[in-house]
Structure 1
């Protein structure tokens, strides 16, 4: 397909990240120009290794750059309890090809990719926003050639890392605040829609027989603790890719969002001002709901293409 949408994926694989990356790599509508890694679900070294393993597994020659190994100010706290010690427990990928790992920092690689692109680039941020915040502060000139930052993160209600903080935002709330105030076009697919983006047991059984890709994903699913293998696994990060490829599955509101960075009780809480109480101009499109059936159909058909 001509005129594919150029994207940079900023990520911290992570089992649900791995699925989202696979869908993006095999989409006929997306052109993945760069994958950058950030400490999140596990350490920077592990998420980078996992990214290279995925690319080797799929035979994709996409440039990769390592980014931030810790949040801007907060102490780093991973999610090994959800994704396993490696971040992608459950499948033996073997040694990856490291020839496409750049020596430059992710922020510099992002800048170069954006500046040199002849069309605006979309950033799909499916991990903590540390790299993206550093990019926008260090190289504000890139803003003019960023089409949109679509991120999986935040919540309309409560959290899954802290009482009020969703994992990606609560891991580095200061970075999120920089991104939210950047003036760049934003789209948020948060925890609320992720909780409804489920892969049920019968779906997992169908995926299991989709060749080597299905076998790999099924093996990861068995170790994934984002939900339950029996009652439904939450595909949080695929929601950001779904926004790019199938936005009709969402209810979307234009609104103002910000993040709490001062309170010990609500650090990382995303303030999504749907009622306009703050009298601020909208700075983001926010997915307020998802059609689970459309997501399921889109997700299964997308996985079928990952061969």
Structure 2
């Protein structure tokens, strides 16, 4: 089975790990990469996407998207990902260029001209997707599903309740969550517990040029504890290929767009206010299987 996908991202260390697997796994047909401001400015996230496409010698188009959230001010995460977004490895300047058109227009055209609905994986703020759904609602039947890294039911990493990607553009996240399109949310409930262990990272470092690159950027990620490094976005690709390794449950999820809880994703866990659901929320992941899979991805597909 071949999974035909589009990735909207803000590389970013963890986005870079996800893109590396999506670019090289033989079961995945990555047809477009769009970038957005988030971890760092969009000029940098676009450059990083181009660097990875060139690193793996793939012919995947890249289009630059939104420079800022729909309504709120951008707060980046360069303190986590470094000034470039993927500090720790010298990629050099990419020789390939992005599309001249904007990401939202390219996404619209790609979807409308596809002969089958496509899966969109989003690992950054959801600004491009919010604009896409608002400006071109006719694309909805061409979106098979959204697989999103973002949100949390238990805790935040920007505030006590808000996860970074949703916090960055909560108004866009609300548009995506209320779109009626099948949506899976892989948030901090999974990604903070399902980490890439230091043992896995050290093994990957020995696996050629790609392994050294991935280990080098992971080592620069400060989201690390005694169990390993939280490579949040990588779990979207793992879910695409192995959803059975996740514990999930469907809820109605709202996004808070103002006040001190801005960016919070609030689930109606008692079904007290909604008689239907809009998001499949991943609550846990098989961490051992996740680590084993990532090691095999590098060993088998990136050499």
Task: Give 1:94's aligned residue.
Answer: 92
- Once the two structures are overlaid, the 10-residue window that deviates more, 272-281 or 49-58, is 272-281
Question: Which residue, 11, 14, 17 being the options, matches 2:9?
Answer: 11
Name the SS for the 2:86 alignment partner: coil
What is the aligned-residue RMSD (CA, Å)? 1.2
TM-score, length of structure 2 as denominator length: 0.97
Deviations along 1:162-195, one digit per CA (max 9) or x if unpaired, are 2210000000000000111111111111111001
C-alpha distance in 1 between matches for 2:189 and 2:149:
10
Name the SS for the 1:93 alignment partner: coil
C-alpha distance in 2 between matches for 1:265 and 1:278:
22
Q: Say whether the 8 Å CA contact 2:36–2:127 is kept in structure 1.
A: yes
- Once the two structures are overlaid, the 10-residue window that deviates more, 15-24 or 297-306, is 297-306
Q: Say whether the 8 Å CA contact 2:24–2:56 is kept in structure 1.
A: no
C-alpha distance in 1 between matches for 2:243 and 2:204:
23
Gaps of 5+ in 2: none
Runs of 4 or more consecutive aligned structure 1 residues displaced over 6 Å after TM superposition:
none
C-alpha distance in 1 between matches for 2:22 and 2:193:
20
Name the SS for the 2:222 alignment partner: coil
Question: Which residue, 239, 243, 251 being the options, matches 1:243?
Answer: 239
1:105-254 paired onto structure 2 within 5 Å: 105-228=102-225, 231-254=227-250
Name the SS for the 1:223 alignment partner: coil
1:231 deviates by 4.2
C-alpha distance in 1 between matches for 2:252 and 2:244:
21
Question: Which residue, 99, 104, 109 being the options, matches 2:101?
Answer: 104
1:279 deviates by 2.1
Name the SS for the 1:104 alignment partner: coil
Task: Give 2:27's aligned residue.
Answer: 29
- Once the two structures are overlaid, the 10-residue window that deviates more, 129-138 or 250-259, is 250-259
Deviations along 1:73-124, one digit per CA (max 9) or x if unpaired, are 110010011100110001100121224x101100000011111111111100
Aligned residues: 302
Gaps of 5+ in 1: none
Deviations along 1:258-294, one digit per CA (max 9) or x if unpaired, are 10012x2100000122321222411121111111112
TM-score, length of structure 1 as denominator length: 0.96
Task: Give 1:55's aligned residue.
Answer: 53
1:200 deviates by 1.6
- Once the two structures are overlaid, the 10-residue window that deviates more, 218-227 or 64-73, is 218-227
C-alpha distance in 1 between matches for 2:7 and 2:95:
19
- Once the two structures are overlaid, the 10-residue window that deviates more, 270-279 or 163-172, is 270-279
